[in-house]
Chain A
């Protein structure tokens, strides 16, 4: 099972395992602070912003067009930003470390 690690704004480090769905859903299921997922994962709210660990960016790849534009809603956007509702959990993501944006 792919293991994903979230680092929250309170510097809590939480590692959880998931099998399917999006990284946002995994975060909400595990009550990760700062990931709200208000739109339910359809790339409409930008409340699931994370920074991918720079060494892991190859695992996730770059955001798609709509996602990239939506990220601009947050002034803290960086080159490692992703909306994690757009990250489908699969074996490729095993070991992924992300920092929650807010």
Chain B
């Protein structure tokens, strides 16, 4: 049924997390006077995900205090939340979404912010193990926390040495749990950082008592009396009571794909976060988009990308001409180490390590494509992160020998190459 002209337009959002919620509030800020309706299958009031593998795992607080917005804010901005409701289908012809119980909701503009879900690797016997967990939702984190605290002598085995897996390892070590981590590649963080950074995190985790084994492709799991035996294809095996999967994600593109929306490694969007249907936008972890600064298509999993795409989509829906053009950034906190990353180090041909004199736990790695600074990874070094951000944004040319020289102070004056 077509909307009457007099009726206020409806903007409908699927996914109430970093992308969807920031979008809803940005849309109001941009002046949208119509309805805003947000659906999520997760029943909990929308929350921050990053703490789930970090402070939340070790905290003693009963409830999750890391809400994205207070409940009153939704009322104040007239944003309707439908939590615990899963969307099953997008009907583009009738501009309607269909929930799992079959009810329909019309939209004028639709925003897909469905993110990603944990990938469950095809490991023989995994489905028969009781204590196997993934970590994506608050419920997941609460369960892991409960199970670990219930009996602190339970051994935990984490499959997958990516950021989330490493953060979980760090948090559980803080609680005093025995942690083994198995990585399929020859090093942890294999596809997401440089060999130098990977080695640094390996050393830190070993020092903190995590047992890390690389080149371990887990092939089967068996379980006797609550003890799981995890066997790899080189026939080594490990025992643990709890298994946590940190094996990456699957992008939630099915809804879009089934509706005939173009997808690749994520939902394909243009510079305004619009899909091939002009009334349907996509934002956050689920998008495959172009980054103008690096001139390449990417899919990113970060709060920065979720929040910034949310703002772009909101502005575009309110009629502004906008282009999504940001320098990506990300952080990870493990033990007393704060990693801050800015930029995309794809195809770098030189990595310069800059040590600071005070301590070994403060340094930065600067990634170049010849003279062009692509990215900076900073360890306990916010200054390097900030200077890196500014230099990348403005395409500043870096004086590499000054950068290497830790007796020179890290500041723009020393860093910039004088013509």
Contact = CB atoms under 8 A, between A and B. Distances in A.
Interface in A46-102: 65-67, 69-70, 72-73
A31 B303 contact: no
A36 B73 CA distance: 13
Contact of A39 (B50, B76, B77, B386): B50
A65 B76 CA distance: 37
A15 B188 CA distance: 48
Given A38-B303, A69-B386, A28 B69 contact: yes
B66 A40 contact: yes
Interface in B333-359: 333, 338, 340
Contact of B331 (A30, A44, A72): A44
Contact of B76 (A21, A31, A40, A69): A31
A29 B50 contact: no
Interface string A13-36: 000000001000100111100001
A1 interface: no
A42 to B, nearest CB: 6
A36 B18 CA distance: 12
Interface in B272-306: 303-304
B48 A31 contact: no
B389 interface: yes
A39 to B, nearest CB: 7
A71 to B, nearest CB: 9
Interface in B33-76: 48, 50-51, 54-55, 65-67, 69-70, 72-73, 76
B331 A31 contact: no
A31 B55 CA distance: 24
Given A39-B50, A40-B50, A72-B386, A31 B307 contact: no
Contact of B338 (A31, A45, A66): A66
A91 B7 CA distance: 50
Interface string B344-381: 00000000000000000000000000000000000010
Closest 9 CB pairs between A and B?
Answer: A69-B382, A40-B48, A44-B331, A69-B383, A29-B70, A31-B73, A66-B382, A72-B386, A70-B382
A39 B72 CA distance: 21
A73 B388 CA distance: 10
A36 B68 CA distance: 9
Nearest to B77: A31
Q: Is the interface of A mostly helix, strand, loop or mixed?
A: loop
19 contacts: A25-B65, A28-B67, A28-B69, A30-B70, A30-B72, A31-B69, A31-B73, A36-B307, A38-B303, A38-B307, A39-B303, A40-B51, A40-B66, A44-B331, A65-B382, A66-B380, A67-B382, A69-B382, A70-B386
Contacts of B55: 42
Contacts of B69: 28, 31
Contacts of B72: 29-31
Contact of B386 (A31, A36, A45, A73): A73
Contacts of A30: 70, 72
A5 B77 CA distance: 21
Contacts of B67: 28
B58 to A, nearest CB: 14
A49 to B, nearest CB: 13
Contacts of A45: 303-304
A43 B380 CA distance: 12
A29 B50 CA distance: 19
A70 B331 CA distance: 13
A29 to B, nearest CB: 4
Contacts of B386: 69-70, 72-73
Interface in B2-43: 22
Contacts of B307: 36, 38
A67 B383 CA distance: 10
Most buried by B among A21, A25, A40, A42: A40
B331 A39 contact: yes
A70 B307 CA distance: 19
Interface string B304-328: 1001000000000000000000000
Contact of B65 (A21, A65, A67, A72): A21
B341 to A, nearest CB: 10
